[in-house]
Amino acid sequence: MSAIEVLERWEERGYLDDRISRREFLKFCGRMAVLLGLSNSMIPQIAEAVEQTVQQRRPSVIWLEFQDCAGNTESFTRANSPSVSQAVLESISLDYHETLMAAAGHQAEEARQRALEENSGKLIVVVEGSIPTKDDGVYCTVGGKTALQILQEVEPHALAFVAVGTCAAFGGIPMARPNPTGAVGLESVIRTKPIINAPGCPANPDVMMGILVHYLVFGRLPELDAKKRPLFAFGKRIHDTCERRPHFDAGQFALSFDDFGARNGFCLYKLGCKGPETYNICASWRWNMGASWPVKAGHPCIGCSEPAFWDRFTPFYERIPLAAGFGVEARADDIGKVAVGVTAAGIAAHAIYTAAVRKAEQKAVELDKKGKEESNES
């Protein structure tokens, strides 16, 4: 079946109204094919899968928010081709989402309970935000239940978990030192069900959509890397897809914000860019309908999608972390230079000292000899 046929059927059934034009729908399917690394010939299948989703109101998705800022929800609702995404969002039966759902209070909790029971075993659980574990997890409770309790309740019913955002995936900012709430990522809590991580602060909306579309088309989750991130989005470092890379290889760097280099789009390495250490899709896929991304806008990457970025990628404007000790923080190179100075001074002192000692010994030997010669003479 061609995509056009799907479109025609959609038109017949009245799915395609002013909100979703044919063009936009096809563009959405095409984008998804590109994102997932599929060939053009897969576009009809994508269209079909999206259609079925809309028709059958499947799969059932619940979205749980814990220690978060709702940034991923914000991001998701601003997906590229927003109207199509919105349609998908509305059609997948998003049975529970604290920020988006109309229901509140007991009604909302009932909706979750119903979703769990009706879709047991087929439920996709999206988690946003980290999970506090200290003091029995009292630092995050929703409807009187802690995040831990909610997850324990949901786990048996889930088909798979999707951790959106760095907090849910790796603990993120709540887990930053000194981690007062004992926050952890989803992986430390969920043991029996597959997890897919879509880190980022926030996660790229297309990546979330891509995971969903992949599942709709193939009926399984996409291929993951060692950190359970989908390879289609996290397969490469930012640095290897960055448009400033030729300047890196040439050795052309911006040395401060707004200098000659910064104005000419030179590489931001010396301003602390973490692109070389960060896996994400920002450089090739960009944000806001492909309009821009931080490095394009002139700011170094801060590595927001990497584990422990708040602790290990700071200071954001230094390339590597400072060395801490004795209550002060210093650059490795400054410490190194001092150590070399001290060592050189130590060597010089030892050389002079040794020379002096040896000279004294020699003198003693000579004096000794002289003394003996004199006594021999007399």
Give me the residues that bind other proteins (CB under 8 A), please. Answer: 225-227, 235-237, 239-240, 246-253, 255, 260-261, 264, 269-270, 274, 276-278, 303, 306-308, 312-313, 319-321, 332-333, 335-336, 339-340, 343-344, 347, 350-351, 353-354, 357-358, 361
Nearest to 240 by CA among 318, 295, 201, 291: 295
Residues near 175 by beta carbon (within 8 Å), at least 6 away in sequence: 130, 167, 183, 184, 185, 308, 310
# chain residues binding ligand SF4, by CB under 6 A:
14
Nearer to ligand SF4, 249 or 377 (CB): 249
* 295 contact choice in other proteins, ligand HEM, ligand SF4, none (CB below 5 to 8 Å, kind-dependent): ligand SF4
- Asked whether position 228 contacts ligand SF4 by CB under 6 A, the answer is no
* 242 contact choice in ligand HEM, ligand SF4, other proteins, none (CB below 5 to 8 Å, kind-dependent): ligand SF4
In angstroms, rounded to a whole number, what is the distance separating the alpha carbons of residues 265 and 302?
18
Nearest-approach distance from CB 239 to ligand SF4, in angstroms: 4
* 361 contact choice in ligand SF4, other proteins, ligand HEM, none (CB below 5 to 8 Å, kind-dependent): other proteins
Instruction: Restricting to residues 141-160, name those near ligand SF4 by CB under 6 A.
Output: none
- Asked whether position 302 contacts ligand SF4 by CB under 6 A, the answer is no
Select the residue whose beta carbon is closest to ligand SF4 and give its number. Answer: 275
Which three-class secondary structure state does DSSP give residue 65? strand
# chain residues binding ligand HEM, by CB under 6 A:
3
Paired strand residues for 287: 292
Nearest-approach distance from CB 79 to ligand HEM, in angstroms: 33
In angstroms, rounded to a whole number, what is the distance separating the alpha carbons of residues 378 and 376?
6
In angstroms, rounded to a whole number, what is the distance separating the alpha carbons of residues 2 and 26?
11
Give the one residue of 195, 268, 281, 304 binding ligand SF4; rule: CB under 6 A.
268
In angstroms, rounded to a whole number, what is the distance separating the alpha carbons of residues 142 and 126?
16
- Asked whether position 267 contacts ligand SF4 by CB under 6 A, the answer is yes
Exposure of 260 in the CB half-sphere (CA atoms within 13 A): 1
Token output for 62: 């619940």
Is the distance from CB of 159 to CB of 193 less than 8 angstroms?
yes
Give the one residue of 194, 276, 298, 321 binding ligand HEM; rule: CB under 6 A.
276
Amino acid at 1: M
- Asked whether position 272 contacts ligand SF4 by CB under 6 A, the answer is no
Is the distance from CB of 294 to CB of 253 less than 8 angstroms?
no
Exposure of 264 in the CB half-sphere (CA atoms within 13 A): 11
In angstroms, rounded to a whole number, what is the distance separating the alpha carbons of residues 29 and 209?
11
Token output for 116: 């769990």
Nearer to other proteins, 193 or 312 (CB): 312
Is the distance from CB of 159 to CB of 121 less than 8 angstroms?
yes
Footprint of ligand SF4 on this chain (CB under 6 A)?
A: 238-239, 242, 244-245, 248, 267-269, 273, 275-276, 295, 301
Footprint of ligand HEM on this chain (CB under 6 A)?
A: 276, 319-320
